Amino acid sequence: MSAGYPWVALPSEALEKIGSAERSNGQLLFHANEWNNMYVAQKVETSKDLWLPVTVPAEYAALRYQGGTVAGQWVRMPGSDINIQHRATIARGRGVGFGFDDFKKLVPEVRQPSGTNNGLLITHVADMPEDWIKAGATEFSAWLTTRDFVTPMPVAVEPETGLAQLDGHWPVDDMLNFKVAVVGVGSIGGVVADALARYGVGELHLIDPDRFLWHNMIRHVLGPESVGIMKVDAMKQRLNARWPDTDVHPYTYDVVNQAHLMRSLFSNVDLIVCAADGVAPRRVVSHVARRAGKPAILACVLDDGAVGEILRLQPAPRYGCLMCLRAHLAAAGGIDVEAAQELDYGTGSVHRAMTAVGPDLHFVGQLAAKAAISTLLETHLGDHTARLSGELATIGLRPTADLAAPFDLARTIDVAWHDIPRPRPTCPTCNPGT
């Protein structure tokens, strides 16, 4: 909606009250928010002289502004083409409308404002033809009425909230059946958890032993309200508030020191994402996920924030584990850039300033979440449009072009996909009992 153009906001309670009213028309009362040129439905007359209030949730602070009031009305018009006319008229530009007498022929119930007063009218047309909807007509339309003229107004209607809005365009119901564990909910893992909830994953198991503190704020999706809280608990609060359809389970486990607890947890999920700091947690996740027969996505930033890495490990004979990959790279003469991860990628060593910036970490986290969702879609739903180009992605964040393959990226935002080797014959992870 253009700045300066008056518009109407219809919260879901107003829609429900208009739609379920026994009568076919009634009065409305709007709050006027002058500084935002907005009129918000406040009360609905559902039967003669029975006015029902419209409750606006507290989080919609701007819509709760208590300004002056403007009288209006609503009219239910089944089978009418008035709302497609609204769409066609508003498309012709500002100031285009109908003389009042001509408009009254279209909407006989419209009341003529007295004197210089303005009024607001909502026309409700349910079950419109599909071609009208495709042309932009909406179930509810708004009109500004004066004594002599009626003009269409933009209207914002609160839709069904949540991912249900995407039903038919995204496998919403299937997503609710997926269970994903996220190991490490720091700068990358917090983004992963948030993105998975946005994709509609029904159950998240968050694993991290750390507390959210001041120094985390510069890179994390969490804010100052979470300082002092365990990261998994703070993420649960955040996700519950924004994505209530996702069931979040927090665990303050140390994935290395409490690795014995991971096997049963991993066995009960569909996929694991590891975004934990350090080499040891990644190796534990690689081993336990393989033994549990579950795919894992490992995401990290390497070489002081120069390169991002996303590695998919699949529990199939043709794919090796993390240690198989590292051994293969070492045999090819590559340097183990992962070893430097033992120096916190966010703060560097004692002698270095911060090396990995928040947006780069968030970028890697978003790609890791996408890789996880793509794996679920392809594996469980047979969606071949979700296939990845390989099992290992290296991402140029601040590439120096002086690393060995596959980290030899030359340009920022370069993404190179690679296959990973088959299991080593003596690998205890891929070939237990050897």
Instruction: Please state, in angstroms and rounded to a whole number, the distance separating the CA atoms of residues 53 and 75.
Output: 18
Q: Is the pLDDT of residue 347 over 60?
A: no
For residue 117, what pLDDT band results from cuts at 50, 70 and 90?
A: confident
Q: Quick one: residue 236, left, alpha or beta (phi over 0 = left, psi -120 to 50 = alpha)?
A: alpha
> Do 212 and 237 touch, CB atoms closer than 8 A?
no
Better-predicted residue by pLDDT, 338 or 351: 338
Instruction: Please state, in angstroms and rounded to a whole number, the distance separating the CA atoms of residues 314 and 128.
Output: 49
pLDDT of residue 58: 84
Instruction: Please state, in angstroms and rounded to a whole number, the distance separating the CA atoms of residues 188 and 305.
Output: 12
Which residues, at least 6 apart from 271, have a Cβ–Cβ distance to it below 8 Å? 178, 180, 181, 294, 295, 296, 297, 372, 375, 376
Domain boundaries, the chain: 7-157, 164-418
* Side chain identity, residue 78: P
Reading the block at residue 158, the tokens are 């609160």
259-313, pLDDT tens digit by residue? 999 999 999 999 999 999 889 999 999 999 999 999 999 999 998 899 999 999 9
181-194, pLDDT tens digit by residue? 999 999 999 999 99
Beta-sheet strands, E only, within 100-210: 119-124, 140-145, 149-153, 155-157, 179-183, 203-207
The label of the residue with tokens 């285009």 reads: 96
Q: To the nearest whole number, what is the mean pLDDT of the chain?
A: 91
Q: Residue range 64-89: average pLDDT?
A: 92
Reading the block at residue 77, the tokens are 């018009």
Q: Which of 355-359, 370-374, 405-409 has the highest mean pLDDT?
A: 370-374
pLDDT above 70 covers a percentage of the chain that reads 93
pTM for the predicted model, two decimal places: 0.81
Instruction: Please state, in angstroms and rounded to a whole number, the distance separating the CA atoms of residues 202 and 91.
Output: 41
Cβ-in-10-Å burial (0-12, 13-18, 19+) of 100 comes to: middle
Q: Cis (ω within 30 of 0) for the bond into 406?
A: yes
SS percent in the chain: helix, strand, coil, step 5 = 35, 25, 45
Angle at 248 between CA 245 and CA 253, to 5 degrees: 170
390-431, pLDDT tens digit by residue? 999 999 999 988 888 899 999 999 999 999 999 999 999 998
| Level-2 CATH architecture, domain 7-157 | 3-Layer(aba) Sandwich (3.40)
For residue 164, what pLDDT band results from cuts at 50, 70 and 90?
A: confident
Q: Is the pLDDT of residue 340 over 60?
A: no
Q: Is the pLDDT of residue 30 over 50?
A: yes
Return the CATH number of the domain spanning residue range 164-418: 3.40.50.720
